[in-house]
Amino acid sequence: MGLNSPEEVGGNPLPTAVSVGCSEPLIGANIAFSTYPGLTRGVAHVLYAYGDDWLREHVAQRLFAGEWTGTMGLTEPQAGSAVGDAKTLAEPHGERYRIRGTKIFISGGEQDITENIAHLVLARTPDAPAGVKGLSLFIVPKVRINGDGSLGERNDVVCAGIEEKMGMHGSATCVMSFGDHDACEAIRVGKEHDGIRMMFMLMNEARIGTGLHGLSAAATCYGIALEYAKERIQGVAIADMRNPEAPRVPIIAHPDVRRMLFSMKAKTEGMRALLYKAADCAEWAERAADEEARTRHGHLLEILTPIVKAYCSDVGFDVAVTAVQTMGGAGYVHESGLEQYVRDVKAASIYEGTNGIQALDLIGRKMTREHGRYFITFMDEVEKSLAASAAHGVVGPLANRVQEEQGRVREVAGALAMAGMSGDLQTSALMATPFLTMMGNLSVGWLLCEQAVIAADALDALAAQAGAKTPEARAVLTESSSEAGFYANKLHTAEFFVRNVMVQNLGLARECTDGYRGILQAPI
Ligand SMILES: Cc1cc2nc3c(=O)[nH]c(=O)nc-3n(C[C@H](O)[C@H](O)[C@H](O)COP(=O)(O)OP(=O)(O)OC[C@H]3O[C@@H](n4cnc5c(N)ncnc54)[C@H](O)[C@@H]3O)c2cc1C
pLDDT digits (tens, 9 = 90+) for 417-463: 999 889 989 989 999 999 999 999 999 999 999 999 999 999 999 99
Give CA–CA dist 70/35, Å, rounded. Answer: 10
Ligand 1 mean position, distance from CA 212 (Å): 19
Confidence of residue 6 (pLDDT cuts 50, 70, 90): confident
Give CA–CA dist 9/61, Å, rounded. Answer: 6
Q: Within a 10 A sphere around the Cβ of 137, how many other Cβ atoms?
A: 29
- Measured from the Cα of 74, ligand 1's closest atom is 11
Q: Which residues does a 6 A CB cutoff place in the pocket of ligand 1?
A: 71-75, 80-81, 105-107, 165, 168, 173, 347, 350-351, 353-354, 356-357, 360
Known active-site residue 292? no
**Per-residue H/E/C for 160-216:** EEECCCCCCCCCCEEEEEECCCCCCEEEEECCCCCHHHHHHHHHHHHHHHHHHHHHH
pLDDT in tens, 215-266: 999 999 999 999 999 999 999 999 999 999 999 999 999 999 999 999 999 9
Helix (H) or strand (E) holding 230, with range, is helix 195-231
Q: Atom 31, ligand 1: which residue's CA is nearest?
A: 81
- Measured from the Cα of 103, ligand 1's closest atom is 11
Ligand 1 mean position, distance from CA 352 (Å): 7
Model confidence at 467: pLDDT above 80: yes
Ligand 1 mean position, distance from CA 171 (Å): 17
Confidence of residue 405 (pLDDT cuts 50, 70, 90): very high
**Model pTM?**
0.97
Query: Among residues 454, 437, 421, which one has the least CA distance to residue 507?
Result: 437
Q: Which of 39, 78, 159, 354 is the pocket-test mutation for ligand 1 (most atoms within 8 Å of CB)?
A: 354
Query: What is the per-residue pLDDT for 7?
Result: 86
Query: What is the per-residue pLDDT for 2?
Result: 79
DSSP letter, residue 347: G
Query: What is the per-residue pLDDT for 12?
Result: 84
- Measured from the Cα of 35, ligand 1's closest atom is 8
What is the separation of C-alpha 216 from the centre of its chain, rounded to a whole number of angstroms?
10
Ramachandran sector of residue 353 (left: φ over 0; alpha: ψ -120 to 50; beta: rest): left
Query: What is the per-residue pLDDT for 327?
Result: 98
Pairing of strands 157-162, 173-178: antiparallel
pLDDT in tens, 30-60: 999 999 999 999 999 999 999 999 999 999 9
Pairing of strands 117-124, 135-141: antiparallel
Ligand 1 mean position, distance from CA 350 (Å): 6
Whether residue 97 contacts residue 139, with contact meaning beta carbons closer than 8 Å, is answered with no
How far is residue 493 from each of residues 103, 217, 242, 257, 265, measured CA to CA in Å? 44, 19, 32, 15, 7
361's CB contacts (< 8 A; 6+ apart) are: 306, 353
Burial (CB count within 10 angstroms: exposed 0-12, middle 13-18, buried 19+), residue 194: middle
Give CA–CA dist 151/68, Å, rounded. Answer: 12
Query: What is the per-residue pLDDT for 187?
Result: 98
Query: What is the per-residue pLDDT for 269?
Result: 98
Q: What is the mean pLDDT of residues 12-36?
A: 94
Ligand 1 mean position, distance from CA 87 (Å): 16
Options 283, 302, 352, 381, the catalytic residue: 352
pLDDT in tens, 262-318: 999 999 999 999 999 999 999 999 999 999 999 999 999 999 999 999 999 999 999
pLDDT in tens, 164-219: 999 999 999 999 999 999 999 999 999 999 999 999 999 999 999 999 999 999 99
- Measured from the Cα of 109, ligand 1's closest atom is 8
Q: Within a 10 A sphere around the Cβ of 33, how many other Cβ atoms?
A: 16
Pairing of strands 69-73, 117-124: parallel
Q: Within a 10 A sphere around the Cβ of 425, how many other Cβ atoms?
A: 12
Q: Which of 75, 202, 213 is the pocket-test mutation for ligand 1 (most atoms within 8 Å of CB)?
A: 75
Give CA–CA dist 379/406, Å, rounded. Answer: 8
pLDDT in tens, 338-390: 999 999 999 999 999 999 999 999 999 999 999 999 999 999 999 999 999 99
Model confidence at 3: pLDDT above 90: no
Give CA–CA dist 216/315, Å, rounded. Answer: 11
Q: Atom 16, ligand 1: which residue's CA is nearest?
A: 351
